[in-house]
Amino acid sequence: MSHGGGLVLRGGRVLALARPAFLALALAAACASTRAAVRADDGGGANMSDAAPRWLVVQLRSFVPGAAGRVVVEPNASGGVVRLRATRLPAPSTVTPGARAFVVWATGGEVRRLGELRRDARGNASIEFSHPAGFASYSLLVTAEEGAQPEHPAGAFVFSTRAGEVSPLYPVRREEARTTTTTTTPPPRAAAVRERTVTGTPRESPAPKPTPATPAVKLAPPVRSVASARPPATPRAPSPVTAASAAEFYESINSAVEDPSAARTLTLAGEGRARRGGGEARVATRAGTAYVRVRFRRVPPPARYGVRKYVMWAETQDEGTLFLRALPATRLNRRTVYARRPNFPSNDFQLAVTAERSYPRPRPRGRRVLTTVNR
């Protein structure tokens, strides 16, 4: 009897397989059952050439420690049913102060709100929606917002896909298989007609009507016409963030400041009347363009300085202080602020915020509100 090799023998007869062989057989059986389950999902054992395409699964990038999520797209006639599921989500207010909802957005030439990602007491959340009309491919974003129906993303990012990572999925249409079969049948029949014509039978000499070929010509276009007959997307009013470039704007900044080889983290500290304020920024420079993503905290309103606007600047050693953007006058501490400046002359810069009576200005004139401290 041997327990370590392949067979257990007793009296010259095979009694049982040893453990390695038994495990191999069990694994093969499990794989067979898995393949059967996949075929059942694809149509109950139908030919795989007629089966619908596989589901598209996209893992979401998480900006919240511990949270995870993924997107599954199931094919259907309108471009797919999209299911977004997340786990270990904290309360929205822990991501953005004052936030009460997680909102899902599609970006791809424009920004479109898709709905609210509702979270249960255990931190699980899910949402289901159809492929957004008018999008060839798109990105998905999840942000923490003050309400469930904001006009554009203003809160902190929770999840995102890469640019254009989600695409529509349509099932394989049965007409395609029938069209291929029909187009191959006319040649044999035509050959038979020629043979009967040679024998001199008068009734067989006229060429037959091309009835078999007619369905083949008519069956092929409906596959394309179904897509072309889909009603055009309803025109939407442009959002406050320029609809045509909003997706590219946010995605370019996020891509740059999340690159560990090029991005840096800057800490901002308040001065004077804003001494309790601060902020944290991710900054980067790529191909002569500066990118900034910053979150502020406890920054008083501009009225504290007797002005209506704060302005954010980039401080360089060679070119001095350069204008980046004016900051929102309201809810500054409750949103993520983005800035991008092309034709930027330096790869190394710091940030500063001043209180200005008017803008744009070539150089700051007002009081300093925030300054980079980790120079």
At residue 163's C-alpha, the angle toward residues 158 and 167, to 5°, is 105
- Predicted confidence at residue 330, as pLDDT, reads 83
| Residue ranges of the chain with per-residue pLDDT less than 50 | 1-52, 177, 179-205, 214-244
| Domain membership flag for residue 252 | no
3-state class (DSSP) for residue 215: helix
Q: Same domain, yes or no, for 328 and 360? A: yes
Q: Same domain, yes or no, for 78 and 43? A: no
CATH code for the domain in which residue 342 is found: 2.60.40
- Predicted confidence at residue 329, as pLDDT, reads 80
Q: Same domain, yes or no, for 150 and 193? A: no
CB distance 21 to 4 below 8 Å: no
- Predicted confidence at residue 123, as pLDDT, reads 92
- Predicted confidence at residue 2, as pLDDT, reads 43
CA distance 178 to 217: 12
- Predicted confidence at residue 162, as pLDDT, reads 85
Q: Same domain, yes or no, for 190 and 133? A: no
pLDDT digits (tens, 9 = 90+) for 17-64: 444 444 444 444 444 433 333 333 443 333 433 444 577 888 898 888
Strand pairing report for 13-17 and 367-372:
unpaired
Mean pLDDT of all residues in the chain?
A: 74
Q: Residue ranges of the alpha helices (H) in the chain? A: 19-43, 92-95, 174-183, 186-198, 213-228, 243-257
Q: Same domain, yes or no, for 186 and 101? A: no
Among the listed residues 335, 338, 352, the one whose alpha carbon sits nearest the alpha carbon of residue 284:
338
pLDDT digits (tens, 9 = 90+) for 264-308: 999 999 998 899 999 999 999 988 899 999 999 999 999 989 998
Q: Same domain, yes or no, for 100 and 186? A: no
pLDDT digits (tens, 9 = 90+) for 63-73: 888 899 999 99
Q: Same domain, yes or no, for 60 and 112? A: yes
DSSP assignment of 45-87 equals S--GGGSPPPPEEEEPEESSTT-EEEEEEE--TTS-EEEEEEE
| Domain membership flag for residue 169 | no
- Can you list the positions of beta strands (E) in 243-366? 264-270, 278-286, 289-297, 309-316, 320-326, 336-341, 350-356
- Predicted confidence at residue 77, as pLDDT, reads 84
Q: Same domain, yes or no, for 89 and 182? A: no
Number of independent structural domains in the chain: 4
- Predicted confidence at residue 250, as pLDDT, reads 84
Six token digits for residue 227: 């897509």
Q: Same domain, yes or no, for 314 and 266? A: yes
- Predicted confidence at residue 308, as pLDDT, reads 87
- Predicted confidence at residue 128, as pLDDT, reads 93
Phi, psi of 269 (to 5 degrees): -125, 145
CB distance 346 to 319 below 8 Å: yes
| Domain membership flag for residue 97 | yes
- Predicted confidence at residue 342, as pLDDT, reads 87
* pTM exceeds 0.75, yes or no: no
| Domain membership flag for residue 81 | yes
| Domain membership flag for residue 80 | yes
Q: Note down the domain range covering 194.
A: 176-222
| Domain membership flag for residue 130 | yes
Six token digits for residue 305: 């300085």
| Domain membership flag for residue 267 | yes
Q: Same domain, yes or no, for 155 and 212? A: no
| Domain membership flag for residue 265 | yes
Phi, psi of 20 (to 5 degrees): -60, -45
Six token digits for residue 161: 């896909």
pLDDT digits (tens, 9 = 90+) for 7-24: 444 444 444 444 444 444
CA distance 172 to 48: 11
Q: Same domain, yes or no, for 40 and 80? A: no
Q: Which of 132, 160, 188 is the last residue of a domain?
A: 160
Q: In what order do the strands lie in the sheet with 101-107?
A: 56-59, 68-74, 81-87, 125-130, 111-119, 101-107, 139-145, 157-160, 61-62
Q: Same domain, yes or no, for 72 and 124? A: yes
